[in-house]
Structure 1
Amino acid sequence: MDMTLAELKKHPVFHYFAELSSMPRGSGNEKGVSDYLLRFAQSRNLPVIQDKALNIIIKKEATEGYGHVPAIIIQGHMDMVCEKNKGTLHNFDTEPLKLQIKGDMLYASGTTLGADNGIAVAYALALLDASDIPHPALEVVITTEEETTMKGALEVNPEHFSGEIFINLDSEEEGKLLVSSAGGITAAQGLPIQWDSPHEQTSVFQVQIGGLFGGHSGMSIQKGRGNANKLLGRFLKGLSEEFNFHLSSISGGLKSNAIPREAEAVIHVPEAHASRLPEVAAAWEETFKKELRTSDPKISVTAEKVDHLPERVYSDETTRSVIHSLMLIPNGVQSMSQEIAGLTESSTNLGVVSSTASTITFVSEIRSSVKSLKEQILKQNEVIAQVTGSTFTTQADYPEWPYRKDSKIQKLFEEVYQARYGKRPEIVAIHAGLECGIFAEKLPHIDAISLGPDMFDVHTPEEHLSIPSTIRTWEYLLSALKEMNAYYN
């Protein structure tokens, strides 16, 4: 595709996507974009609500001849995961994304693109702004903090809606209609730090695990990609079996719902063993490269000596407990669906390890399409916290979205797809968490579907969006809206 960015912006969807890309919208920092959406509706005299969670609800009357069709709730989220490559200078709080076209794909330079889920917002704004698109009554809801806590959807007041049809635009594969999704919960273990004075005859090293591919912990967990936090735990455990050492800091990952690509620790090694550490790191790198030769061939393990000597180190007990936590906390696929071939049923991702002066925190994102299995994984984490002497807390508990066999909206979208492309779309359930589950719980009468264009490597700096797929999905959506006049007659 030979197109400039300026030419691409002439399409209404990409016009609004570019506008969104100029605004900070990391999870928890959505005030600016929420206010922008509020002004958008007000300037067009569309009824609008901005609630305490900064969710935006915009309504638009049905076009002529569509008043008999049930109102449609169109939903997406305004926040994005803010990840950047190491060495990339970019402030997500103040700087716009640097969009660039490569072939027929849209990227951001060195950062996440935010097509998840800015493309849903762009679709909604283009639809609300148009005067020549036939459609039933619209109730557009754009939520906040989906990527972290799902706080926005959880705080939505169901009394604001009369719609019976629900179209979520937070899917990532064209030609697939999503009809069910997993529920999830975030679990955190807080290990209290006991401090000690560093031994005099030690050398200090910074150990780093890097070069991993990462990815969305729901969409990519089944790919077997390396988790930097878990790999660091293996390295430290192996080292502890050769000689004693102390930690003075540890960190890894940035988001609980992103498979961590990097992790690091500062360790204090007895002088007698210091010369061996780079060789040990190289040996572990070779081991990991063999294990992850397909998913993460660029993995690196380094141990570099540092000059400064921290004033204190973790005690023997705390160092052991850190290693035990990293080794014991479950990670990866826990069960596969027995009904849908290839579908991950349950998983957990040790996404973040962070520390303060008093506590080391291990944060896991737990998912399952079976509520009891989600609770079982949660209990397993709770028991591990008890064993290691850690506190245990949870947040962002959201429900699964159950499959509805008699879905009328699913059948409509299937028929429209068949008419446009001469084949049926794939009907799928996904392991990622969608806000559909929350809305289905709040509005049990709704008939829901989820769709979206092709996007790749979401939640990583390699995230990119197919431009032709985005346009085709837009046209597909408009065709389905048009057909509702006769379909719901």
Structure 2
Amino acid sequence: MHTTLEDVKKHPVFHYFAEISAIPRGSGNEKEISNYLLRFAKERNLEAVQDEALNIFIKKTASEGYEHVPAIILQGHMDMVCEKNKGTAHDFEHDPISLQLKDDMLYASNTTLGADNGIAVAYALALLDSSDIPHPALEIIITTEEETTMKGALEASPEIFSGEIFINLDSEEEGKLLVSSAGGITAMQALPIQWETAPKGLKGYKIQLSGLFGGHSGMSIQKGRGNANKLLGRMLHDLSVQYPFSLHSINGGLKSNAIPREAEAVIYLPADASIDLPKLVSNWEHVLKNELRTADPGISVTVEETAECPDKLYSVKTTHNVITSLMLIPNGVLSMSQEIVGLTESSTNLGVVTSNSQEVRFVSEIRSSVKSLKQQTVEQNNLIAQLTESRFSTEADYPEWPYLPDSKVRRLFETVYKDLYGNPPEIVAIHAGLECGVFTEKLPHIDAISLGPDMFDVHTPEEHLSVPSTIRTWDYLKAVLQEMNNFYKS
């Protein structure tokens, strides 16, 4: 076991992971990390290209004796999800990620770690920097905005590649080889706010829901964790049935692909309203703690009076439409695969609700391994938008990655894994978006696979990475590259 962080950073993979962790690289803020990768390649006299989407493409010639092996496309993404615990003073636009070693796990300090997918970048850099690892010709592509729109992969030019083997390093469980993934799309409805003059004699309350685990909306959606936006919608609906109120603002969640952990609404009631709001909220906390006693036992619901008295509030119609949207927008697992036991086939996550002076926006991440089912959920959201007189739009539509029954690269990875560890790896499909789907659509001739080390609680401030697993996966990758000389006979 490594005893100190400095000891861990002596390993080439963690050396480069620490370097890139010092560079802010949230989705859409990748210019600095992209430039760093370009400089890295140029300093080593490697052929490199930075395209308009800030993707970085780097080539390294084959080791002696490996010239006959098809070129390897090695792929990961440079951006990360930026989440932090409430009250944490961290600026993701400028501050480095502060690394911590706890036993054999690497954490950040109250923020996401960025191992998803910084560890792929670190593997690639360690491989490019080496002079003693046998390998075929390498074509390394590090993409941008994977966590939001997959813009980098979608805009990558297929003409730049000559490789036939595609290795994606954006998986999160050691010993599992990914061979298929879901497609996805982001759906948004913008509900225009009609404001009305606030009457006299109102009392304001802020209702807050917090303490949920959250998690990746693809990898964790089947765990039944609470969605703060949907739960807040239920509470507001219940309150509206008992006593009319007016909304002033509502916000919840930060990323469409992260299950929201917190949500809040500011509402106003007549000061003489015959309703015990604190008691009602306390009752709701009891109900939700019971419902989520296993999946989200830490849920908390609070209410506090607000001193501010606004001049305007949402109209009755707008308040009704907001609550209707929260109640009707689908969320959670929609269907399970009938072919692969335990695999979520279709799901959707109401990840973000935001309000400003003009509109309330609802943003959902829709996923499915079946294109027609993905479109069905899009249409359902569109109909709800029409019902609530909201503008509807979609973005970041990316394809599913279909399973290839006769995969030569999968057989190679299985053989090497069994030789190293004595047991075969697990072959799995996942309910999350991988760039493999984009690249197999662009390059239909490639044979693709995805792997990675053990990561936990990704897309949350509790994200952590297993140091031993990262090192074993590095050794496994090197062994596969070395064995390609024998596996792909000329």
TM-score calculated relative to the size of structure 2? 0.99
Counterpart of 1:386 in structure 2 is 386
Counterpart of 2:480 in structure 1 is 480
- Letter matched to residue 346 of structure 2: S
- Does residue 80 in structure 1 map to residue 83 in structure 2? no
Using the TM superposition, give the Cα deviation of residue 293 of structure 1 relative to its aligned residue in structure 2, in angstroms: 0.3
Listed as ranges, the matches of 1:426-437 within 5 Å are: 426-437=426-437
Counterpart of 2:301 in structure 1 is 301
Q: Secondary structure at the match of 1:313?
A: strand
Does structure 1 retain, via aligned residues, the 8 Å contact 2:2–2:8? no
Distance 1:291 1:227 in 2: 12
- Letter matched to residue 179 of structure 1: V
Q: Secondary structure at the match of 2:272?
A: helix
Distance 1:306 1:379 in 2: 39
Does structure 1 retain, via aligned residues, the 8 Å contact 2:190–2:359? yes
- Letter matched to residue 117 of structure 2: N
Listed as ranges, the matches of 1:127-146 within 5 Å are: 127-146=127-146
Distance 1:200 1:288 in 2: 34
Distance 1:277 1:391 in 2: 33
Distance 1:272 1:452 in 2: 59
Q: Which runs of 5 or more residues in structure 2 are unaligned? A: none
Distance 1:264 1:231 in 2: 10
Listed as ranges, the matches of 1:392-403 within 5 Å are: 392-403=392-403
Distance 1:275 1:3 in 2: 57
Counterpart of 2:42 in structure 1 is 42
Q: Secondary structure at the match of 1:330?
A: coil
Q: Secondary structure at the match of 2:379?
A: helix
Distance 2:43 2:13 in 1: 19
Counterpart of 2:242 in structure 1 is 242
Does structure 2 retain, via aligned residues, the 8 Å contact 1:84–1:461? yes
Does structure 2 retain, via aligned residues, the 8 Å contact 1:203–1:274? no
Using the TM superposition, give the Cα deviation of residue 273 of structure 1 relative to its aligned residue in structure 2, in angstroms: 3.0
Does structure 2 retain, via aligned residues, the 8 Å contact 1:79–1:145? yes
Cα RMSD (Å): 0.7
Counterpart of 1:406 in structure 2 is 406
CA distance 1:2–1:470, change in 2 (3 Å)? closer
Distance 2:52 2:311 in 1: 45
After the TM superposition, which parts of structure 1 deviate over 6 Å for at least 4 consecutive aligned residues? none
Distance 1:278 1:69 in 2: 69
Moved more, 437-446 or 308-317: 308-317
Kindly, what percent of the aligned residue pairs are identical? Answer: 72
Distance 1:310 1:260 in 2: 28
Distance 2:129 2:311 in 1: 60
Listed as ranges, the matches of 1:336-485 within 5 Å are: 336-485=336-485
1:376-396 superposed Cα distances (whole Å, 9 cap, x missing partner): 001000000011100100000
Using the TM superposition, give the Cα deviation of residue 458 of structure 1 relative to its aligned residue in structure 2, in angstroms: 0.1
Listed as ranges, the matches of 1:82-97 within 5 Å are: 82-97=82-97
Using the TM superposition, give the Cα deviation of residue 310 of structure 1 relative to its aligned residue in structure 2, in angstroms: 1.6
Q: Which runs of 5 or more residues in structure 1 are unaligned? A: none
Counterpart of 1:212 in structure 2 is 212
Distance 2:357 2:269 in 1: 21
Counterpart of 2:113 in structure 1 is 113
1:57-113 superposed Cα distances (whole Å, 9 cap, x missing partner): 000000000000000000000000000000111111111111000010000010000
- Letter matched to residue 95 of structure 2: E
Q: Secondary structure at the match of 2:417?
A: helix
Counterpart of 2:20 in structure 1 is 20
Distance 1:43 1:188 in 2: 43
Moved more, 461-470 or 195-204: 195-204
Listed as ranges, the matches of 1:166-177 within 5 Å are: 166-177=166-177
CA distance 1:314–1:152, change in 2 (3 Å)? same
Q: Secondary structure at the match of 1:366?
A: strand
Distance 1:277 1:30 in 2: 46
Listed as ranges, the matches of 1:248-267 within 5 Å are: 248-267=248-267
Q: Secondary structure at the match of 2:363?
A: strand
Distance 1:190 1:98 in 2: 37
- Letter matched to residue 208 of structure 2: Q
Matched residue count: 489
Using the TM superposition, give the Cα deviation of residue 145 of structure 1 relative to its aligned residue in structure 2, in angstroms: 0.2
Counterpart of 1:33 in structure 2 is 33
Distance 1:348 1:252 in 2: 16
Using the TM superposition, give the Cα deviation of residue 268 of structure 1 relative to its aligned residue in structure 2, in angstroms: 0.2
Distance 1:381 1:442 in 2: 29
Using the TM superposition, give the Cα deviation of residue 138 of structure 1 relative to its aligned residue in structure 2, in angstroms: 0.1
Listed as ranges, the matches of 1:154-193 within 5 Å are: 154-193=154-193
Using the TM superposition, give the Cα deviation of residue 275 of structure 1 relative to its aligned residue in structure 2, in angstroms: 6.2
- Letter matched to residue 216 of structure 2: H
Using the TM superposition, give the Cα deviation of residue 464 of structure 1 relative to its aligned residue in structure 2, in angstroms: 0.2
